[in-house]
Amino acid sequence: MTERFAPPEADVDRARRLLRDANGIVVLTGAGVSAESGVPTFRGAGGLWRDHRPEKLATPEAFARDPLLVWSWYQWRRDLVERCEPNAAHHALAQLCSDRSDVRLVTQNVDGLHERASDAIGAAGATAVQPLTLHGSLFGTRCTGCGTRSGARSQRVDTTSVDTLPRCDGCGAPLRPDVVWFGESLDADVLETAFEAARASEVCFVIGTSALVQPAASIPLATLDAGGSIIEVNPGATLLSGLASVSLRAPAASTVPLLLSRPSSST
Ligand code: BJW
Ligand code: ZN
């Protein structure tokens, strides 16, 4: 029943033209862009926070209290995401970033699917542009002692017992997932680059985020404050919907490629 999600044609055409004509686009994605790849979102029906309390799994205090529980949950998510593939929205955005130097992709996602779509573009010989990742990477680790990062893809974590959990080769302290938990600061350089791009762009293209988590949710407001506009793709309404020039209640995988294709006429 894909027709049920078909957004009004006039809105689609308007969004396409805004994107085509924009002097600078900042794209902000959230979990919804990966939903059709099979990666669960956080909030809403079927979301991770329906069955799991964030404060028990996604805070530094939770990790200090029960690292085995936290690592078991993250390893389960790593296994799940490894079985998923980038969808048509990830691929269309990777192509857009490759085609236009005035586009910046900023993601809250830790699943690496934008990166894999970009790698596919690079493998085909085009310029591969990697996203700015606000909340880290599901597959990286960081030392709780000395802060050393593992890089994008670390070894599978043995969650048999607390004694089998990974430790730092350098200082021996426990390694943790390299993600940003509640109450933690985002990387200052990454965040500043994202906000700079938002201020410098005429359009903020927001895809698949509930826009509830700060400071990421303020990125579209920076574009708006600088005189630009917001285009939103999301099957549900969000706090941004009322501020958007075009808000398409539609899923990402079919809609994003449609918006990034050529408008039906040149007017
Ligand atoms: C589709 C679709 C389809 C479905 N197509 N779309 C009070 C006010 C303001 C701020 C705060 C506050 N109290 C505390 C804070 C700060 C806090 C915060 O924002 N809390 C709010 C929840 C209230 N923020 C922080 O703590 C941040 N740090 C910070 O602020 O530092 C400064 C500070 C320090 C100390 C004290 C206070 C401030 C850090 C936030 C880190 C967020 N981390 C997580 C986990 C990452 C690791 C992991 O994955 O395990 O990041 S939480 C989770 O939410 C994850 C996501 O990146 C993030 C955003 O979620 P997202 O992507 O929007 O997903 P959903 O599920 O919410 O929405 C999915 C959307 O998709 C829905 O709208 C669907 O409709 C849609 N959808 N199918 C398109 N097919
Ligand atoms: Zn260390």
Question: Which residues are marked as active site?
Answer: 135
Residue 210 bridge partners (DSSP):
none
- For the chain, 267 residues long, the average pLDDT of each consecutive 10-residue run is 69 97 98 98 89 89 96 96 97 97 98 97 90 97 95 82 96 97 97 98 98 98 98 97 98 97 60
* Separation of alpha carbons 24 and 186, rounded Å: 24
* Separation of alpha carbons 68 and 90, rounded Å: 32
Q: What is the pTM of this model?
A: 0.96
Q: Is the CB of 46 under 6 A from ligand 1?
A: no
pLDDT number for residue 34: 98
pLDDT number for residue 1: 43
Q: Are 86 and 39 in contact (CB under 8 A)?
A: no
Q: Is the CB of 228 under 6 A from ligand 1?
A: no
pLDDT number for residue 264: 57
pLDDT number for residue 101: 96
Measured at the alpha carbon of residue 6, what is the angle toward residues 114 and 116, in degrees to the nearest 5?
Answer: 10
Residue 232 bridge partners (DSSP):
206, 247
pLDDT number for residue 2: 42
| CA–centroid distance, residue 111 to ligand 2 (Å) | 24
pLDDT number for residue 193: 98
